Amino acid sequence: MSKKSWQAMYKFIRRLNLVFAVGVILYALYTSWPFIKIEALELRNKLTPGPIVFNSLMILIPPYKLRNSHYVASSLPSFREKTKAEPVFSKYETYLEIPSVHIRGQVVDGADEKAMDLGFWHYPGTGDIKHGGNIVIVGHRYLKLPPAQDTFFNLDKVKLGDRILLKNRLGEWQFVVISKRIVAVDEVSLLLNSSNQLTLITCHPVWTSKARLVVIAKPVRQSEFKENLF
């Protein structure tokens, strides 16, 4: 090859390397953007004048951040202390599924937000699949993104009439969505309903925690809650 040919090839390879490097940087920014957003929001909250109290439903910051944050406090202590119920969901490896929006993940019991490290969190003191009542399950909105399914990122796409399933090795419990609404951060009445229902909660709008997205579903058959199954 002539000298000009080698020079042309050298320039082409340099440009190709540059394009590749830019592509790698853009891809890295795209995949890490949710975490950058979380860190930015956390910094903004820390710089906000005055005390900031994250109530029990606060799921803006990842659980590993919550452990070390002096801002964390429970606004519902009496509700948490209401019962020391058997950890039915974890014990029987229960999974939550919403086929219409590709959500599927394990439901875990736990005393606080740290449980969300492991899956969707069954809020302490609320109903369960053994005794019925208002089953409240809380999940992160954007700590994980699709195609991951163990996230409530797509919860806003749920429609009235969609089916929600709770499954474990003992059986399957079916619910049908009857309500989807946005509520204030400090709205706790949705926890107090004692009728047999499933209540799913996550942050809204996406990338923020200004409000809560709440999906409520009723059991297809009320008779599905039977203690003798356990």
Q: Which of helix, strand or coil describes residue 210?
A: coil
Over residues 20-48, mean pLDDT: 63
Task: Indicate the pLDDT class of residue 27, thresholds 50, 70 and 90.
Answer: confident
At 169-218, the pLDDT tens digits run: 888 999 999 999 999 988 888 887 778 999 999 999 888 888 999 999 99
Name, in order, each residue with C-beta under 8 angstroms of 55's C-beta and a sequence gap of 6 or more.
Answer: 73, 74, 75, 76, 185, 186
Higher pLDDT, 221 or 205: 205
Over residues 35-43, mean pLDDT: 53
- The rounded percent of the chain whose pLDDT value lies above 90 is 40
User: What local confidence, expressed as pLDDT, does residue 37 receive?
Assistant: 52
Q: What is the pTM of this model?
A: 0.65
* Helical spans, DSSP H, in 51-188: 63-66, 77-80, 88-91
Element (H, E) at 112: none
The per-residue DSSP string of 24-69 comes to HHHHHHHHHHHHHHHHHHHHHHHHSSS---B-TT--SS-HHHHTT-
Residue among 161, 175, 164, 163 at smallest CA distance from 219: 175
At 105-142, the pLDDT tens digits run: 999 999 888 888 889 999 998 999 888 899 999 999 98
Tokens linked to 10: 């050298």
- How many angstroms from the chain centroid is the CA of residue 162? 19
CB 55, CB 76: distance < 8 Å: yes
